[in-house]
């Protein structure tokens, strides 16, 4: 009898302790959810739910003022087979990405190598070169760029001093897109800083050993700098491709897509369809196609990285 009473008391104490532990765990979990609630609200309210909603809207005819009407794949059929301006925007965007991104990366790497050569006041130069990346995408700089390349702008004024007749940079389809590419190259500061950080990680002993073996600057660059910098090049390439496909502000402010749609990039045409013509369903379909295009090229770069990106850890494993 006494043993049964003792066991009952022990069971009650254990049950009480378990209840206290569960209460503390619930309290701890609740505190955790409260701390991450701003991120959860932002993720669900401004990311996940809009993404799912845009996927649904891409299959509808929606103009904001009336409820969405389901039309199946009509938006995608119109986009691919009945809208020549869509393909013109795709062509302009591809031309911009495959021209501006390589030029910007080459220019950024060249400046980074100059800064890595041991100049005095390196911090000052670094800040000066990085400033265009901070302000280059702003409306103010885009307006300044439009003034520079206007018919009576600074560029044509300088050419006139040399006796040259400057073209209508922004009014000619052959030169308008190059003014935007030049602006993109001018914003080289961000990849330049990443290249500079990568260059500083390359051991100087490798260059000294190569110099003893008689290697010149070009051979050192090809055999040491490029292979050891390839992970940084890979990162910069992926980031710049993604940013290039999403270019918007410069074309919107400087050329407004003209002349003759030569600078009507994909994001700008998407904006026009959604907010100028109120074709929200069509714009949502365009956004999903853009996502697939960016994902395809990003995956392509990742897939090709095994052939040209050198990782020191892989070299150790091979040994």
pLDDT in tens, 225-258: 999 999 999 999 999 999 999 999 889 999 988 8
What pLDDT was estimated at residue 283? 96
CA distance 59 to 69: 8
What pLDDT was estimated at residue 117? 81
What pLDDT was estimated at residue 142? 84
- Each residue's pLDDT tens digit, 80-98: 999 999 999 999 999 999 9
What pLDDT was estimated at residue 137? 58
Contact criterion met (CB below 8 Å) for 96 and 265 = yes
What pLDDT was estimated at residue 90? 96
- Label residue 311 left, alpha or beta by phi (over 0 means left) and psi (-120 to 50 means alpha): beta
> Which positions of the chain have pLDDT values less than 50?
none
Residue for token pair 């100059």:
114
What pLDDT was estimated at residue 190? 86
């Amino acid at each position: 009898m006494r043993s049964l009473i003792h066991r009952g008391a022990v069971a009650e104490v254990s049950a009480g302790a378990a209840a206290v532990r569960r209460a503390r765990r619930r309290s701890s979990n609740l505190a955790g959810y409260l701390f991450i609630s701003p991120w959860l609200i932002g993720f669900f309210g401004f990311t996940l739910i809009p993404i799912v909603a845009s996927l649904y809207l891409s299959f509808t005819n929606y103009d904001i003022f009336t409820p969405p009407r389901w039309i199946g794949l009509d938006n995608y059929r119109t986009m691919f087979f009945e809208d020549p301006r869509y393909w013109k925007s795709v062509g302009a965007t591809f031309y911009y990405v495959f021209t501006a991104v390589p030029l910007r990366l080459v220019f950024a790497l060249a400046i980074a190598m100059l800064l890595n050569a041991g100049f005095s006041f390196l911090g000052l130069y670094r800040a000066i070169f990085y400033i265009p990346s901070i302000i280059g995408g702003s409306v103010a700089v885009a307006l300044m760029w439009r003034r520079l390349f206007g018919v009576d702008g600074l560029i044509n004024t300088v050419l006139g001093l040399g006796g040259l007749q400057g073209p209508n940079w922004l009014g000619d389809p052959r030169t308008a897109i190059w003014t935007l590419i030049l602006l993109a190259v001018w914003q080289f500061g961000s990849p330049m800083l990443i290249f500079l950080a990568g260059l500083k990680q390359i051991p100087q002993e490798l260059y000294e050993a190569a110099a003893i073996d008689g290697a010149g600057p070009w051979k050192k660059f090809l055999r040491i700098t490029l292979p050891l910098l390839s992970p940084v090049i890979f990162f910069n390439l992926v980031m710049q491709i993604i940013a290039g496909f999403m270019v918007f502000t410069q074309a919107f402010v400087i050329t407004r897509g003209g002349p003759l749609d030569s600078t009507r990039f994909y994001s700008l045409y998407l904006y026009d369809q959604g907010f100028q013509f109120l074709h929200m369903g069509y714009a949502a379909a365009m956004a999903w196609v853009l996502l697939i295009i960016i994902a395809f090229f990003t995956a392509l770069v990742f897939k090709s990285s095994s052939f040209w990106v050198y990782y020191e850890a892989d070299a150790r494993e091979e040994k």
